[in-house]
Chains A and B, each alone.
Chain A
Amino acid sequence: MENLIALLVAAPLLGAAVLLCGGRALDRVGHLLGTLLAAGSFVIAVVLFSDMLGKSPEDRTFSQHLFSWIPVEGFQADVAFQLDQLSMTFVLLISGVGTLIHIYSIGYMEHDERRRRFFGYLNLFLAAMLLLVLADNYLLLYVGWEGVGLASYLLIGFWQHKPSAATAAKKAFLVNRVGDMGLSIAIMLMFTTFGTFAFGPVLDSVGDTSEGKLTAIGLMLLLAACGKSAQVPLQSWLGDAMEGPTPVSALIHAATMVTAGVYLIVRSGAIFNAAPDAQLVVTIVGAVTLLFGAIVGCAKDDIKKALAGSTMSQIGYMVLAAGLGPIGYVFAIMHLVTHGFFKAGLFLGAGSVMHGMNDEVDMRKYGALRKYMPVTFVTFGLGYLAIIGFPGLSGFFSKDKIIEAAFAKGGTEGWILGSVALLGAAITAFYMTRVMIMTFFGEKRWQPDAEGHEPHPHESPSSMTIPMIVLAVGSVFAGGFFSIGDRFLNWLEPVTGHDHGHAPISAGVVTGATMVCLVIGVGIAWLQYGRREIPVVAPRGSLLTRAARRDLLQDDFNHVVLVRGGEHLTRSLVYVDHTLVDGVVNGTAASVGGLSGRLRKLQNGYVRSYAVSMFGGAAVIVAATLLMRAV
Chain B
Amino acid sequence: MNPVNYLYLACLLFTIGATGVLIRRNAIVVFMCIELMLNACNLAFVAFSRMHGNLDGQIFAFFTMVVAAAEVVVGLAIIVSLFRSRHSASVDDASLMKL
Contacts and interface: CB of A to CB of B under 8 A. Distances in A.
A611 B97 contact: no
Interface string B36-78: 0000000000000000000000000000000000000000000
A617 to B, nearest CB: 13
A511 B91 CA distance: 114
Nearest to B96: A605
B32 to A, nearest CB: 15
B83 to A, nearest CB: 15
B18 interface: yes
Contacts of B22: 608, 611-612, 615
Interface string A612-626: 100100000000000
Contact of B98 (A604, A608, A611): A604
B21 A608 contact: yes
A67 interface: no
A603 B98 CA distance: 6
Nearest to B34: A611
A600 B22 CA distance: 21
A603 B99 contact: yes
Interface in A576-626: 600, 603-608, 611-612, 615
Contact of A605 (B18, B23, B30, B97): B97
Contacts of A606: 91-92, 95
Contact of A608 (B91, B97, B99): B91
A84 to B, nearest CB: 81
B18 A604 contact: no
Given A603-B98, A603-B99, A615 B18 contact: yes
Interface residues of A, number: 10
Nearest to B30: A607
Contacts of A615: 18, 22
Contacts of A611: 21-22
A529 B77 CA distance: 115
Contacts of B92: 606, 608
A607 B91 contact: yes
Contacts of B95: 604-607
Nearest to B91: A607
Nearest to B18: A615
Interface string A516-544: 00000000000000000000000000000
B91 A600 contact: no
A46 B40 CA distance: 115
Nearest to A607: B91
Main DSSP-derived SS at the A contact region:
helix
Contacts of B18: 615
A82 B92 CA distance: 93
Given A606-B92, A607-B91, A608-B91, A600 B99 contact: yes
Nearest to A604: B98
A610 to B, nearest CB: 9
Contacts of A608: 21-23, 91-92
Contacts of B99: 600, 603
A603 to B, nearest CB: 5
Contacts of A603: 97-99
A165 B75 CA distance: 87
A491 to B, nearest CB: 89
Contacts of B30: 607
A600 B97 CA distance: 12
B30 to A, nearest CB: 8
Nearest to A596: B99
A608 B92 CA distance: 8
Nearest to B98: A605
Contacts of A607: 30, 91, 94-95
Contacts of A612: 22
A272 B93 CA distance: 90
A121 to B, nearest CB: 68
A606, A607, A615: which has the most chain B beta carbons within 10 Å? A607
B74 to A, nearest CB: 15
Interface string B6-27: 0000000000001001110000
A607 B75 CA distance: 14
Nearest to B25: A608
A615 B14 CA distance: 12
A228 B98 CA distance: 71
Most chain B CB atoms below 10 A, which of A603, A604, A608, A615: A608
A600 B98 CA distance: 9
B4 to A, nearest CB: 18
A443 B97 CA distance: 101
A605 B91 CA distance: 10
A607 B90 CA distance: 11
A603 B96 CA distance: 10
Contacts of B98: 603-605
A605 B93 CA distance: 9
A619 to B, nearest CB: 10
Contacts of A600: 99
Contacts of A604: 95, 98
A621 to B, nearest CB: 15
Nearest to A612: B22
A592 to B, nearest CB: 16
Which of A605, A612, A615 gathers most chain B CB within 10 Å? A605
A605 B92 CA distance: 8
Which of A603, A606, A612 has the largest number of chain B CB atoms within 10 A?
Answer: A606
Nearest to A606: B95
A345 to B, nearest CB: 86
Interface string A540-566: 000000000000000000000000000
Interface in A5-54: none
A502 B15 CA distance: 113
A190 B97 CA distance: 69
A608 B22 CA distance: 5
A319 B70 CA distance: 100
A598 to B, nearest CB: 12
B21 to A, nearest CB: 5
Sorted from nearest, which 4 A-B pairs have the closest CB atoms?
A605-B95, A605-B98, A607-B91, A603-B98
17 contacts: A603-B97, A603-B99, A604-B95, A605-B94, A605-B96, A605-B97, A605-B98, A606-B95, A607-B30, A607-B91, A607-B94, A608-B21, A608-B91, A608-B92, A611-B21, A612-B22, A615-B22
Interface of A: 600, 603-608, 611-612, 615
Given A608-B22, A608-B91, 10 more contacts: A600-B99, A603-B97, A603-B98, A603-B99, A605-B96, A605-B97, A605-B98, A606-B95, A608-B23, A612-B22
